Structure 1
Amino acid sequence: MNSPLCLLFDSDGTLVDSEILLAEVMGELLPEFGLPFSARQYMEEFRGVRFKTVVNTLEARFETLSSTRFDALESDMRARMEARMRAELDPIEGMPAALEALGDYPKAVVSNGPERKIRCALESTRLEHHFAGNLFSAYTLNVWKPDPELYRKAAAAMGFAPERCVVIDDAAVGVQAGLAAGMNVVHLNHFPEEETTPEGAVEIRHARELPGVIAGLSRKTAR
């Protein structure tokens, strides 16, 4: 292989600026189903967490939805979110240039979201060509971050050992999963005043820092 490293990118909040859109959609929709919720609450408590886990947590606090009501809720949420993404979604600032600079590295997207959502995000921001169809969805593999198995399965499919992979993730659940998988981890920390990058991960605060960090990790791995 030409590259000593494989880059495994999260999608929401890492490649694309979708977190606030999702927060707003959930803040509008969940109360319609009897589950009090706000966009701020998503950003502070649930960022990057599986949708079903968010709903289950709220059900424990308020009321339990029937399976039919949950299915209706999720269907409505996905439809509203896709419409917002197609109309409004932008890449994370600096990420398109960073991906261009990292063109020689094999890359994949590894997300807690459904594959349709991942594809919508990449298409809407014109980033899909960087990943050559290497998309790994928790819904397809039936394992969700912070379980490290999601990243391990993606690495195996890409043909790389965990120690030769770099996870790039903005959310605590993804950073935790990458570290537990035995991978190099770069934490794109959008909220450094509120969030601490755990020991073992490299913190960056802007995507423009990413190529330099990857170059350093590549040199270290090649030794």
Structure 2
Amino acid sequence: MAELCLLFDSDGTLVDSEILLAEAMSSTLPRYGLPFTSDRYMNEFRGMRFMSIVRTLEAVHGVLEEAPTRRMEGEMRALLEEMMKAHLTAMPGMSAALMELEGYPCGVVSNGPERKVRLALDTTRLARFFDGHIYSAYTLGVWKPDPRIYRLAAEQMGFSPSHCVVIDDAIVGVQAGLDAGMQVIHFAHHDDGHETPRGALRMHHARELPRLVAQISQKLAARN
């Protein structure tokens, strides 16, 4: 078997947090003059950087000044933390899948702040599978869909891109992994109508993950 490094997205891939994020945003942004709904996040903005979403809304509804923008983000993140502590769960089957994959080095690569990623992993008891290998866009200074975020994570994990497998539910993350030259599994558990980009494998449930990783490993081993 080829040695592989597994690079997981967090929101919507490891943990079922995206509906909580959508609700936190829909509860906060309208109070600052930016109309927003949970459905709009899930259908249009899933996986995107928070400030990219804000800038898109500002282009239609008017630009906020810096101080209100900071307050809005602070309020949204505080509300989200409360919701995560009370309601966050791992994606169905993910813990069992990670147990089957314990022989593989694993990292988390997220567009979210490191504090949020750590809270998600601690709350759902998934932190033990990652040995502290957390790569936040806010720490690295680069956000999906920029492929550099995955390349930087691979470099710090000590792997070449061709021996990394990205597992991501959002198209921005799937495309980032493909553009980084990595093997990619699109975790398509959302019924959002998005096609899996060419070159990525499609997965509907976490129980499929060990089989797909083994398939990729065998394929790479056959090339060597």
Give the aligned residue type for 1:89.
L
Match of 2:142 in 1: 143
What is the rounded CA distance, in whole Å, between the counterparts of 1:151 and 1:88 in structure 2? 29
- Deviations for 1:99-121, whole angstroms, at most 9, x for unmatched residues? 00000000000000000000000
Match of 2:169 in 1: 170
Aligned residues of 1:148 and 1:181 also touching (Cα < 8 A) = yes
Give the aligned residue type for 1:118.
V
Match of 2:38 in 1: 39
Deviation at 1:192, TM superposition (A): 4.9
Q: Helix, strand or coil: the match of 1:103?
A: coil
Aligned residues of 1:3 and 1:106 also touching (Cα < 8 A) = no
Aligned residues of 1:3 and 1:105 also touching (Cα < 8 A) = no
Deviation at 1:25, TM superposition (A): 0.7
What is the rounded CA distance, in whole Å, between the counterparts of 2:27 and 2:57 in structure 1? 15
Deviation at 1:193, TM superposition (A): 6.1
Instruction: Please list every run of at least 4 consecutive aligned residues from structure 1 whose deviation after the TM superposition is greater than 3 angstroms.
Output: none
Match of 1:117 in 2: 116
Aligned residues of 1:3 and 1:104 also touching (Cα < 8 A) = no
Q: How many percent identity over aligned positions?
A: 57
User: Is the aligned partner of 1:55 residue 2:54?
Assistant: yes
CA RMSD of aligned residues (A): 1.0
> What 5-or-longer segments of structure 2 have no aligned partner?
none
Aligned residues of 1:166 and 1:184 also touching (Cα < 8 A) = yes
What is the rounded CA distance, in whole Å, between the counterparts of 1:207 and 1:116 in structure 2? 25
- TM-score normalized by structure 1? 0.98
Deviation at 1:191, TM superposition (A): 2.8
Deviation at 1:195, TM superposition (A): 1.4
Aligned residues of 1:112 and 1:138 also touching (Cα < 8 A) = yes
**How many residue pairs align between the two structures?**
222
Match of 1:189 in 2: 188
Deviation at 1:184, TM superposition (A): 0.1
Deviation at 1:221, TM superposition (A): 1.4
What is the rounded CA distance, in whole Å, between the counterparts of 1:6 and 1:150 in structure 2? 15
- Deviations for 1:162-208, whole angstroms, at most 9, x for unmatched residues? 00000000001000000000000000001356111011000010000
Give the aligned residue type for 2:30.
P
Match of 2:96 in 1: 97
